[in-house]
Chains A and B, each alone.
Chain A
Amino acid sequence: MLDVIKTIPIEYYVYLSSLLFCIGVFGVLIRRNAIVVLMCVELMLNAVNLMLAAFSTYLSDEQGQIMVFFIMVVAAAEAAVGLGILVMVFRNTKTTDIYKLDKLKF
């Protein structure tokens, strides 16, 4: 039962989630569509979730997985409000290019 702990070192999970987090950072930096930038933020949140779940399993402690639930709650709320803001911005400016969205008021 649960031979993951014995066969996979915890460092592998750390490396994988660091790599996914950095891919998310890279996407935030190079993409210009604001919706895709939000998706890259979701990827970064998921990388953190993976690391929390891995440590939770390795330590036999459920608090890490509870923390993952709360991160999911925040991610869902963030996606809903962020997309609502983007829909409103698109209605007023006809673009989601972050280079054109550099004013606080249109």
Chain B
Amino acid sequence: MSLTVFLILGLASVIFSLLMVFTKNPVHSVIFLILTFFSIAGQYVLLNAQFLAVVHIIVYAGAIMVLFLFVLMLLNLNTDAEPRQSSRWKLGAAIAAGMLLVTLVGALKGGIKLNMPEESNPYVGLAQNLGKSLFTDFVVPFEIAGILFLAAMVGAVLLAKRDVKI
């Protein structure tokens, strides 16, 4: 049952990401990437990481992709005016990515020895457990992430502003 769900979601994410790469219109690329993110969120639900799935949908589909779509519309790039790469370059890119895939799969194939605990904890991905860990063991990285967000916000406003005097 879960293997079927995994295969369907995995096939959907691979197909949608390939469509994202190959479609000419950038707006269609954004839509296909959002569909890829939804299938990855389904994988998180399958892995019993519900909180991660919800945060993933809110942050990626809700915030980041809307930002991308907004910039595409702002710059009037919603046409397929992108120049084509030469087919020789495409072949080289396919060979490079395929060799990377072969390397990754070959390096990780059969070599994974997990020390899985006998009694697996099914509540590891729930909000209570993650929040406890985030606010006790990881509180300093959490605060640093807040500072990073502040810096990114100020930087983005400063970059997008017109005629700023530095």
Q: Using A18-B105, A33-B26 as known contacts, say yes or no to A50 and B133 having CB atoms under 8 A apart.
A: no
CB pair A83 B108 closer than 8 Å: no
CB pair A72 B59 closer than 8 Å: yes
Q: Using A14-B112, A66-B133 as known contacts, say yes or no to A20 and B14 having CB atoms under 8 A apart.
A: yes
B contact residues around A91 at 8 Å (CB)? 162
A62-106 residues with Cβ-Cβ distance < 8 A to B are 62-63, 65-66, 68-70, 72-81, 83-88, 90-91, 96-97, 99
**Complex: how many Å from CA A20 to CA B2?**
20
A15-71 residues with Cβ-Cβ distance < 8 A to B are 15-16, 18-27, 29-33, 35-36, 38-40, 42-43, 46, 49-50, 53-63, 65-66, 68-70
For B149, the closest partner residue in chain A by CB is A77
Q: How many contacts A-B (CB < 8 Å)? A: 235
How many residues in B have their beta carbons less than 8 Å from beta carbons of A?
86
**Complex: how many Å from CA A13 to CA B14?**
13
Residues of A contacting B: mostly: helix
CB pair A65 B105 closer than 8 Å: no
B contact residues around A12 at 8 Å (CB)? 6, 10
CB pair B71 A87 closer than 8 Å: yes
Q: Which of B26, B37, B120, B162: most chain A CB closer than 10 A?
A: B120
CB pair B96 A38 closer than 8 Å: no
CB pair A90 B134 closer than 8 Å: no
- B152: min CB distance to chain A, Å: 4
B contact residues around A65 at 8 Å (CB)? 49, 51-52, 124-125, 130
CB pair A53 B47 closer than 8 Å: yes
B91-134 residues with Cβ-Cβ distance < 8 A to A are 92-94, 96-98, 100-101, 104-105, 108-110, 112, 114-117, 120-122, 124-125, 129-130, 133-134
CB pair B14 A23 closer than 8 Å: yes
**Complex: how many Å from CA A20 to CA B137?**
31
A contact residues around B13 at 8 Å (CB)? 16, 20
Which residues on A are within 8 Å of B, measured CB to CB? 1-5, 7-8, 10-12, 14-16, 18-27, 29-33, 35-36, 38-40, 42-43, 46, 49-50, 53-63, 65-66, 68-70, 72-81, 83-88, 90-91, 96-97, 99
**Nearest 3 A/B pairs, CB to CB:** A29-B93, A77-B152, A84-B159
